Amino acid sequence: MKEAVKYYKEAARFGFRLAQFDLAICYLNGDGVKQNFEKAIRSLEKAAAQDLDEAENVLQKLREDPELAVYFTE
């Protein structure tokens, strides 16, 4: 999984929304990287800003969880 994360990061840097989403899921679950909700949310927000519905759905679910609310600043 670490190899996949390497490629997700590279593609995300170039603005590929699916890579941003996949990278976010890796950060959420700690797959191939240390679990990091802040990085996950940042990547999800970037993907959602490019109209990726899956990213917006995950963000909405995270916002509904009060334990994760600390990661959102609005």
2 burial type by CB count under 10 A (0-12 exposed, 13-18 middle, 19+ buried): exposed
pLDDT value at position 67? 72
pLDDT value at position 1? 87
In this structure, of 3-7, 34-38, 67-71, the range with the lowest mean pLDDT score is 67-71
Q: Does 69 have pLDDT greater than 80?
A: no
Give the mean pLDDT of 18-28.
96
Q: Does 47 have pLDDT greater than 80?
A: yes
pLDDT value at position 43? 97
pLDDT value at position 74? 42
Q: How many residues does the chain have?
A: 74
57-66: long-range contacts (C-beta < 8 A, 24 or more apart)?
58/21, 58/24, 58/25, 58/28, 62/37
Residue type, 28: L
